[in-house]
Amino acid sequence: MEENFLVTNRENGWRLDKFVVEKVPEWISRSYVQKAIKQGQIIVNGSLKKPSYKIKNGEIITIEVPDKPPSIEVLPEDIPLNIIYEDKDIIVINKPPFMIVHPVVNKVTGTLVNALLYHCNDLQGIGGELRPGIVHRLDKNTSGAIVVAKNDLAHQSLSKQFKDRKTKKTYIALVKGILKNKHGEINAPLARHPKIKIKMAVVPGGKESVTLYRIIKEFREKASLAWINLKTGRTHQIRVHFKYIGHPLLGDDVYGRSSEDYKYGIERQMLHALKLGLFHPRTNEWMEFIAPIPEDFKKAMVNLEKITEN
């Protein structure tokens, strides 16, 4: 595809590669963009520029990149899994932080799917080549319980349960500051950010999004530990909703990380999928699975206690 984009005052002074990354589809990486600039597929006012070129208000950026990702092969990998539960239909994993759930164009190894293909030798093809068995997701830097379907029956049942909001998802999160209301509901519609494609945002007319929360611990004026239930399951919902009410998650480098977070030893957003409830796809029995809290989350709470005690 070839498209022209006008540089506005907001982007004046940006690097050319940063501008382009914001405009192209999510699967296109910054390294791909930099290569495309050097090869003349991305030009400024008809002229070739370097990826580091500082664009100016009013310039026209012409971008020529593929409109769909290339086909990629996903291979099994012997990666240890923290299995909470498994039978012939489903497998429930306590996903560690920093692991992507399924492959993307610029990351085809080290994902949960790669590990599952090795562990479940008949998973290939269940629900798609890139996302076999996947019926819901957790962000790369979010830890916790995730269920995967091991056959078509389970995939169809679980997909419908998530779509119909029959599952129950409970999270814990460390959020910045002290909330005035110790329990409540955040009801604000979400959609893709109108200008920054990697973000979601509260947007009038967006999809209905409802988050229920209860504060279960406070660390003086620094932070709060929230118990969270989702009535809907939108992309980045918890992260955007708490940012929206002025209390972003600690360590969230997209929606509100601060330099102070490093003092607590925090290296990722403090969000953990603690409990997942669902109806078993074969027996229809209600089941709940708990994912133990990871060590980095525990460490952050210990460090918050120490700092706020002084």
Q: Measured between alpha carbons, how far is 193 from 235 in angstroms, rounded to an integer?
A: 12
Q: Which among 38, 95, 139, 78 has a CA at the least distance from the CA of 276?
A: 95
Q: Which among 75, 96, 175 has a CA at the least distance from the CA of 143?
A: 96
> In the 8-state DSSP scheme, what is residue 54?
B
Active site residue 152: no
b or e along 126-151 (b: 16 or more beta carbons within 10 Å of the residue's beta carbon)?
Answer: bbeebbbbbbbbbbebbbbbbbbbbb
Q: Which among 87, 150, 142 has a CA at the least distance from the CA of 113?
A: 150
Q: Which among 215, 244, 218, 241 has a CA at the least distance from the CA of 230?
A: 241
Residue 24 CA to its chain's centroid (Å): 19
Q: For residue 307, give both structure tokens.
A: 């700092």
Q: Measured between alpha carbons, how far is 103 from 79 in angstroms, rounded to an integer?
A: 14
Place of tokens 């091991």: 150
| Annotated active-site residue in 17, 139, 261, 296 | 139
Q: Where are the alpha helices (DSSP H) in 50-151?
A: 112-119
Active site residues: 139
